[in-house]
Amino acid sequence: MSKKLYQVLQDSGVPLDYRSCGTPPEETTDREVKREPTPRAGKLRDLYYQTLSSAGNEFPYWYTRKYMELDGEIPVVRRALALKCAFSHLTPTIFPGELIVMGKARYYRGSFPMPWLSEGYYMSKEDELYQAALDKGSSSADEVSKFGSGGGNVVRNFGNVISIAGKFGIRQEEVPAMLRVARAWVGKSVDDVGHKYEQMVPGYDIKEAIMKSVVCMFDSGYTLPQGREVINHYYLLQYGFDGLIVMAQEERAKVAGRADGDGLVGMNRLYNYEAVIHVLEGIQTWVLNYAREARRLEAREEEPVQKEEYRNIAECLEWIAHHPPRTFREAIQLCWIVHVAVLNEDAISGMSPGRLGQVLWPWFQQDIEAGRITEEQVLELLECQRVKFTCLDCFASMGVVGGVLSGNTFNNLSLGGLSWEGAPASNRLEELIIEAAINCVTTQPTLSVLYDDKLPELFLLKAVECVKTGAGYPAFVNNRVAMEFLMHHYGPEDMNLEESRAIAIGGCLETSPCSWMLLTLNGKEYPIPGGSGQPTSVGVHFISLPKILELVLFDGMDLRADLRVFPSHGKRLETYEQLFEQVKTYFARAVEVLSLANNIQHDIWRKNNMAIFNSLLKPDCLERGHLINELGYRYNATHNVETCGTVNLVNSLAALKKLVYEDEEVTLDDLREALRENFGFKTATEVGSYSLVDQEKKGGGDLYDRIHYLCLTAPKYGNDDPYADSILKEWEDWFCAICYEYESLNAWPYYACQISVSTHAPMGAATLATPDGRLAGTTFADASLSAYPGTDRNGPYALFTSATCWDHSKSQNSQMNLKIHPSAIRGAEGARNLLELTRAYMRKGGFHIQYNVVDSRMLRDAQRSPDQYRDLVVRVAGFTQYWVEIGKPIQDEVIARTEYEGV
Amino acid sequence: MEQTPKNLDCRNYAPVDVAKGFCHLRKEIVLADGEACDAFEQLPKCKHCAKYTPGEEAYLGTCAASPTRPMTYPDLIGVTCEWFSWKET
């Protein structure tokens, strides 16, 4: 029988399931902190667990119908009217027990495609989907209940439900219309128009090869044109819908026909204000439609408590559809409406609510003081809000939703940090937000503590208590390092110290520029933070660093795809320096061609598909009369270069340097052959799995055992070993600097962004074996600074020293995941130890750390019996996800990570 | 022949997902394609509208509310449609 990888590693003394700092208890240990939400939130969460991810056609139908009527209209007004029509026609659905209402679509966990961004997928699947729609369906409870495993993903057709990409279900009777709507966008979508022009970029053939060989993961211009940014609630909280409409009408009158010294886009302000008014009116109608539905339900309801709740919902919506909120309940509902409206405007992942506990503080403080609400009621609202956030789905292109995002939507809520004056900004409401996250563990919103030494100990210990639930949040983010990055990168756009203190995290881990806005409530002033930058989900996303190295070793050829990606470098790579230089050369070439093509895609997006609602929320669009496409935002230098597989690159370079160039234990040719032959293992395709644990040796595949052993035992990042760490430092110093040599369409430089999301699985799947001993097709190390599973053997502090050998403030982020056994942080002493561990990393200059508190044996059991673990969550890269909704390669990678038994 | 109404065609049905929903009257989860009960109340959809004309292709039709007679589909919900009017039966 073929040997499995884990047996080979065990025999080599480098086992996969490595445990550091002790041994776990004999019995599988559950997480220490386990609480229950309020009955109301619990019921709503249970309903979520039973809910399938469902797509509808209402929004795309009405958007397309209106858009196509308006040929010849000014693009921004045309888009605004299409959005207005779509929002106005969404069917409202309210479920009993909900306190916070409204959603993306009429389903509990609803979403919809946006073919104006890209229709290619539907067209390529047109026949298949159409035939599926025509097939006579049947349905039964049995069929429905089969979909328990896989969470809410609709993994195949059943009954009258058609599966799209194994994720979303759509009703059979809506499919032909969905396809007809998609067809209307052929040649008009951002994807199609962008493709027409991006082909004019010199070297476009390289870009195509890069995408085919999965050196790069996706084009952001038509997949996720917005996101990984922080929303701004200020304008609607301060002025309300009516106030903003009046403001836009007044500004429209002031600028009509006037260039005011700007011959290029000065005149556009008229059309922009007109567009703003239409979109606000559309969203207002959407809110009022929900109010009417609440009134209808109230009229029919006989149960007095539920009847009153419908009445309260109606009254709340009827007020905030026009006016600024008066109470905490109205304010939290309005913030939710703003959030969903932004998400419905575009395909967005990572729209963060920002420092919501500080934004909502004025209403919380005044309502509590006046006795209008109790903390228990606030807690219940916060738990209900968690369920609403978790119901959000993102319907982007298929490879993005599955391969990159693992179905996550990354609504990151930031906590703590500093006030504009430099005082600790945490407050009682933020403690309740953490409490709600402890009671009601869900994937959204994820939480990030903006760590500063000034933050109160009790607040930080509350955060640690939440970590002990195993939810993977809050992540700890270094506030000082983030501010340094903002000051450095956005300094040329006038970012100053005070403003940098408004920082919040956008998406899973993107340091985002924010601003303080002075809110007035009942005559009292409150500076509240909110996003003021363009999306940071945009740019060159993601470049696979191990794949770049592979192309260097094989002279620009992708052997897996039998495809020439880069022109031959023709070098014999006789020195390590020559090798490393060629890695940089290919990387730079990839960024060059991808950034140019990307600029074109985003330019098409901003010309035809610009954000209107999100724009009007951001300073200083309303004041200037310019939206995102005319750089109306306060900060516009947000395009970045994202990488994946940093640690595998570093470990591979360390192995090459040591084994080939210094010790001459292996020739480069022999190593190349071993990589081509996957160190004597079968290919992942042959095994039928891309998971680490499933890899098997070929019969007679012992030829490369010696080389494989040398590669596995070569110096590795994560052990405070200067040999590997110096390579990481050289790479980071070069990479963070080189990004500034590329210019975005906004005429600002790119910068470095280092998160993996889920790309380490598909990118690993497309990469041969690597010189660090990793096998072909298997996942890379996750995040950017997590050690490769099982290779960090000197404890967490050695890992921290390795990780902080370079200046993290030169990059938008860096990412570190640690897996800790629940028993290692048990009790009050364990909590203090975890806080001290976190503090140690922050003080060393680490940007980010987060913890998976879990017994790996529980994860293995969850793989065997997924139905028993519907609510089990784990942390992957920068997000928390339900175990049953992530792919097996990522599951295996999480299991394989080093488990720390003590801290 | 008139088809038996389904739950998803009822005004009291709140769709949880593509397969099931909540019945506001019975206060329980019911299957979308399940047979509606005696309290069934028709949810307005394009196929019930006076301005709707069925097309030749399955699940497609046109809307006469606009001079261009745009494409629509029979199960598009008309609750928020300003042009919806019940077809005379």
pLDDT single digits (tens) A772-782: 999 999 999 98
Handedness of CA A200, A202, A204, A205 (dihedral sign): positive
At residue A886 the predicted structure's pLDDT band, cuts being 50, 70 and 90, is confident
Asked if the model's pLDDT at residue A402 lies above 60, the reply is: no
Write the pLDDT tens digit of every residue in A343-386: 999 999 999 999 999 999 999 999 999 999 999 999 999 999 99
pLDDT at A140: 36
Instruction: Using the predicted structure, report yes or no on whether residue A6 has a pLDDT greater than 80.
Output: no
- A446-451/A475-478 β-pairing: parallel
Its pTM stands at 0.96
CB contact under 8 A, A108 and B76: no
Which residues face A520 on adjacent strands? A525
Question: By mean pLDDT, which of A214-228, A453-467, A733-747 is the weakest?
Answer: A214-228
The number of beta carbons lying within 10 Å of the beta carbon of residue A254 is 12
Sheet holding B61-63, edge to edge: B52-54, B61-63, B71-72
Question: So what's the pLDDT on residue A813?
Answer: 96
From chain B, pick out residues whose CB is under 8 angstroms from the CB of A68: 70
Q: Is position A501 within any domain?
A: no
Where are the alpha helices (H) located in A691-826, listed in sequence order? 705-713, 722-738, 762-765, 796-803
Q: How confident is the model at residue A809 (pLDDT cuts 50, 70, 90)?
A: very high
Q: How far apart are CA B8 and CA B77, in angstroms?
A: 11
Q: Helix, strand, coil shares of chain B as percentages rounded to 5?
A: 5, 30, 65
Residue A406: the pLDDT is 61
Count of pairs with CB atoms under 8 A, one residue in A, one in B: 115
d(CA A886, CA A63): 32
- Per-residue model confidence (pLDDT) at position B2: 55
Residues on chain A touching B24 (C-beta within 8 angstroms): 96, 297, 300-301
Task: Extract the tokens encoding A880.
Answer: 């928390």
Please name each of the domains of chain B with its CATH number. 1-43 (2.20.70.100), 44-89 (2.20.70.100)
Which range (A80-84, A148-152, A539-543) has the least confidence? A148-152
Residue A115: inside a domain: yes
Reported as a single tens digit per residue, the pLDDT across A594-640 is 999 999 999 999 999 999 999 999 999 999 999 999 999 999 999 99
pLDDT class for A17, splitting at 50, 70, 90?
Answer: low
Among A85, A316, A384, A508, the one annotated catalytic: A508
Distance from CA of B89 to the nearest CA of A (A): 23
Chain A residues whose CB is inside 8 A of the B25 CB are 300
Strand order in the sheet with A539-544: A216-219, A539-544, A640-644, A751-753
Q: Quote the minimal CA–CA distance from A884 to chain B in Å.
A: 19
Q: Which residue of A has its CA nearest to B6?
A: A139
Classify residue A93: in a domain, yes or no.
yes
Who's near A868: CB < 8 A, 6+ residues apart?
A861, A862
Name A424's bridge partners.
Answer: A418
Nearest to A221 by CA among A541, A481, A526: A541
Structural domain range at position A180:
47-185
- % pLDDT > 70, chain A: 97
A681-709: pLDDT as tens digits: 998 878 877 777 788 999 887 899 999 99
Does the residue A210 lie in any domain?
Answer: no
State how far the Cα of A428 lies from the Cα of A223, in Å rounded to an integer: 39
Res A849 pLDDT > 90: yes
pLDDT tens for A750-794 read 999 998 888 898 899 999 999 999 999 999 998 999 999 989 999
Please indicate if any CB of chain A lies within 8 Å of the CB of B81. yes
Please indicate if any CB of chain B lies within 8 Å of the CB of A65: yes
What helix, strand, coil percent values describe chain A, rounded to 5?
A: 50, 15, 35
Question: Do A177 and B71 make contact, defined as CB atoms within 8 angstroms?
Answer: yes
Q: How many CA atoms within 13 Å lie on the side-chain side of A449?
A: 35
**Does A592 score more than 60 pLDDT?**
yes
Mean pLDDT score of chain A: 93
Given an 8 Å threshold on Cβ–Cβ distance, is A176 in contact with B59?
A: yes
pLDDT at A756: 80
Has residue A575 been placed in a domain?
A: no
Residue A108 in tokens: 């509990």
Closest CA to A388 of A879, A48, A881: A48
**Cα dist. A890→A397, A765, A884, A896, B70 in Å?**
20, 11, 11, 10, 45
Task: Give per-residue burial for A718-743: e unless 16+ CB within 10 Å, then b.
Answer: bbbbeebbebbbbbbeebbebbeebe
Beta bridge partners of A112: none
% of chain B surpassing 90 pLDDT: 93
What is the biggest distance separating any 2 CA atoms in chain B, rounded to whole angstroms?
A: 43
C-alpha A340/C-alpha A470 separation (Å) is: 28
Which entry of A198, A293, A510, A696 is annotated as an active-site residue?
A510
Q: What is the pLDDT of residues A483-497, one digit of tens each?
A: 999 999 999 999 999
Which residues of chain B make contact with A94, given a CB cutoff of 8 A?
14
Report the distance separating Cα A722 and Cα A385, nearest Å: 47
- How far apart, in whole angstroms, are the C-alpha atoms of residue A76 and residue A90? 22
Residue contact A107–B74, C-beta within 8 A: no
Check residue A689 and give its pLDDT: 76
Encode pLDDT of A152-163 as tens digits: 889 899 999 999
How many C-beta atoms surround the C-beta of residue A824 within 10 A?
21
Q: What percent of chain A has pLDDT over 90?
A: 82
Active site residue A510: yes
Q: A148 CB near a chain B CB, below 8 Å?
A: no
Mean pLDDT score across all residues of chain B:
95
Question: Could you give the CA distance from residue A556 to residue A570 in angstroms, rounded to a whole number?
Answer: 9
> Contacts of residue B81 in chain A, CB cutoff 8 Å?
89
Say which residue, A875 or A802, is predicted with more confidence.
Answer: A802
**Separation CA A576–CA A651 (nearest Å):** 14
Q: Residue A96 and residue B20: Cβ atoms within 8 Å?
A: no
A135 in B contact zone (CB under 8 Å)? no
β-sheet bridge partners, residue A314? none
**Chain A: closest CA distance from residue B36 (Å):** 14
Question: What mean pLDDT comes out for the span A29-57?
Answer: 96
Confidence of residue A16 (pLDDT cuts 50, 70, 90): low
Domains in chain A, number: 1
From B22, B24, B75, residue closest to A173, measured CB to CB? B75
Q: What is the CA radius of gyration of chain B?
A: 14
Confidence at residue A683, expressed as pLDDT on a 0 to 100 scale: 86
pLDDT value for A502: 98
CA distance to partner chain B, nearest, from residue A726 (Å): 53
List, edge to edge, every strand of the sheet that includes A54-55.
Answer: A110-111, A54-55, A168-171, A161-164
Considering the domain boundaries, does residue A546 fall inside one?
no
Whether the predicted pLDDT of A49 surpasses 90: yes
pLDDT tens digits along A83-137: 999 999 999 999 999 999 999 999 999 999 999 999 988 888 888 888 887 775 4
Contacts of A176 in chain B (CB under 8 A): 57-60, 73
Q: pLDDT, tens digit, for every residue of A495-529? A: 999 999 999 999 989 999 999 999 999 999 999 99
What residues 646-685 of chain A have any CB closer than 8 A to a CB of chain B? Answer: none
**Whether B18 and A177 lie within 8 Å, measured CB to CB:** no
Half-sphere exposure of residue A360: CA atoms within 13 angstroms, side-chain side: 30
> What average pLDDT does this structure show over B45-68?
96
Cβ density class A442-456: b for 16+ within 10 Å, e for less: bbbbbbbbbbbeebe
Q: What is the pLDDT of residue A460?
A: 98
pLDDT attached to residue A146: 33
